[in-house]
Structure 1
């Protein structure tokens, strides 16, 4: 996980105050989501004091989002394969087949939530970085350096806008798939018979098409993330 990696890096410096270490632990591993949200600014400030800047955090969070998307697309494909095995059911324990499908749905939902959470973290630190960058433009005395920094900020914002659009597009594909999987899983739960299998067969093509589109958009988003990371590291 991103913040655990950065926390480990930060805490390697034994010369830092114990208070800062406690602050990092509270903000990163916080007791409640509200507490985590409330101390984000303090967290960024503390991380800067140990040499980890918002730019570094943004890159790491984009990497984590990319990895979460990669895992999510694999999970949705697994769910599709389990659904395929259900519609092709040809005797045996139908309830066991349902239980497997339910597990794949639960895993898909968890994977989707993981992606959403990572995207939110990316958006938060990106906004914090851009706000700080814009504020610091006013501190320049050299107009030439100020223009160069402003140009770099505009370029970074443009790349991030493209990345965010890609992330949002891929994210939007997940809920329709989850809804369709849930509908069919619930239907099978209460209709463990051959007639139910016949009904599910009519749903398979639509779900497959949705998952195929989801995977395509996920792969595009992953590629966009790689390009953004590469640009930020130069």
Structure 2
């Protein structure tokens, strides 16, 4: 556990260096961190990014509801808060996309290396056992990655109408404009509900995968 916490701190310094990912992983392995440890750490980062994005988008929806249900006060300030919430959601969505790519990068490397090393066994029995473990690990990984991508693909359809409404409000801060977009709140609300369900499922799958990786011997 201490090892993985230390890994997460070090890995955060290298996030964004996708072009140098192979060199980064080689360096980490020299420091004693196997690719499976890096994968587990990056899955945790992706899970946390989804959790953050879920909260930011829910917060943006809540603020959208406040704008639409405007009952008086400083409408300009209310709009600015909504715009800020949307920008935070956009940043969180980008973080989710990047973390998923980071997961895929190390997973592809891990599985390719694992498959190559199967040919190095002199024992047929040990090779068979390792191949079975590889198959099982890839199956769990693919299920988790599928859930992550499904949730990530729902983010933009949620943010697009919010972007449109915020842009419209920017130049139409009046009661008539608010009335015109009231119907959009129900639609966006339904989309956010589905997104939250998919993200919760993805987060649960990530937790299961992390637990399986930490339980198994390297």
Q: Contact conserved, 2:18 with 2:102, CA < 8 A, in 1?
A: no
- Say yes or no: does 1:159 pair with 2:160: no
Distance 1:171-1:8 versus aligned 2 partners, 3 A rule: closer
Encode CA deviations 1:52-102: one digit per residue, 9 max, x unaligned: 010000000001111111111111110011001011101122111111110
In the TM superposition, residue 212 of structure 1 has moved relative to its aligned partner by 0.6
Match of 2:109 in 1: 128
Match of 1:216 in 2: 197
Relative to the length of structure 2, the TM-score reads 0.92
Encode CA deviations 1:104-150: one digit per residue, 9 max, x unaligned: 10000001011111000000000000000001001000000000000
Q: Which has the higher contact order (CA 8 A, sep 6+)?
A: 2
Q: Contact conserved, 2:8 with 2:41, CA < 8 A, in 1?
A: no
Match of 2:47 in 1: 66
- Say yes or no: does 1:103 pair with 2:84: yes
Relative to the length of structure 1, the TM-score reads 0.86
- Say yes or no: does 1:174 pair with 2:189: no
Measured in 2, the distance between the counterparts of 1:72 and 1:58 equals 21
In the TM superposition, residue 41 of structure 1 has moved relative to its aligned partner by 1.6
Corresponding residue pairs, total: 211
Gaps of 5+ in 2: none
Let me know the Cα RMSD of the aligned residues.
1.8
Encode CA deviations 1:155-182: one digit per residue, 9 max, x unaligned: 0000011001100000011001111110
Gaps of 5+ in 1: 11-24
What is the DSSP-based 3-state SS (H/G/I as helix, E as strand, rest coil) of the residue aligned with 2:120? coil
